[in-house]
């Protein structure tokens, strides 16, 4: 089974997070709702990749977000695809929500309460991914 390492980032503003609907032009899970995500490129740490994906998919710069929590990675097995995803979850505070500009990878953005993730047709285990970063220890 092929293994792929990816990051999934959740931006938070005023206790809400944006879910993004994946476009028909992406390679996997077209039309599904997701966080900001992407493959971890050779030589990048998961954190570096998280910042790159945020920039690519939303136009936001490093100073537009602040790391709240990096969660423990989780494995998501997709038998149909013959792939095991190792997902590195991140949660960032968004400084100014009006600055988000979606790229071609997504067709729609919705601000939701995180507890409503389960109501959406998401990429596999998105709720579990969120739960890895939901609790913040002080």
How many CA atoms, within 13 angstroms, populate the side-chain half-sphere of residue 29?
A: 20
Instruction: Pick the range with the lowest mean pLDDT from 26-30, 38-42, 52-56.
Output: 26-30
Q: How far apart are CA 116 and CA 38, in angstroms?
A: 23
pTM to 2 decimal places = 0.93
Q: What is the CATH number of the domain that holds 73?
A: 3.90.79.10
**Where are the extended beta strands (E) located within the chain?**
2-12, 17-22, 33-34, 36-39, 65-70, 74-78, 83-94, 106-112
- Averaged pLDDT for residues 100-121: 94
Q: How many domains does the chain have?
A: 1
Percent of the chain with pLDDT over 90: 86
For residues 103 and 22, the answer to whether their CB atoms sit within 8 Å is no
Q: How far is CA 6 from CA 15, 46, 63, 89, 113, in A?
A: 25, 8, 22, 9, 24
For residues 58 and 32, the answer to whether their CB atoms sit within 8 Å is no
DSSP code for 57: H
- Averaged pLDDT for residues 74-82: 92
Range of the domain at 83: 2-134
């Amino acid at each position: 089974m092929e293994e792929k390492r990816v990051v999934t980032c959740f931006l938070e503003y005023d206790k809400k997070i944006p879910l993004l609907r994946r476009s028909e032009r992406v390679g996997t899970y077209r039309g599904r709702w997701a966080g900001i995500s992407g493959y971890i490129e050779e030589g990048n740490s998961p954190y570096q990749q998280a910042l790159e994906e945020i920039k690519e998919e939303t136009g936001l710069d490093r100073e537009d977000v602040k790391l709240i929590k990096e969660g423990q990675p989780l494995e998501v097995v997709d038998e149909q695809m013959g792939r095991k995803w190792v997902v590195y979850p991140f949660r960032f505070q968004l400084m100014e929500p009006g600055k988000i500009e979606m790229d071609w990878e997504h067709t729609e953005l919705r601000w939701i309460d995180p507890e409503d993730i389960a109501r959406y047709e998401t990429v596999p285990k998105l709720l579990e991914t969120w739960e890895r970063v939901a609790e913040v220890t002080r």
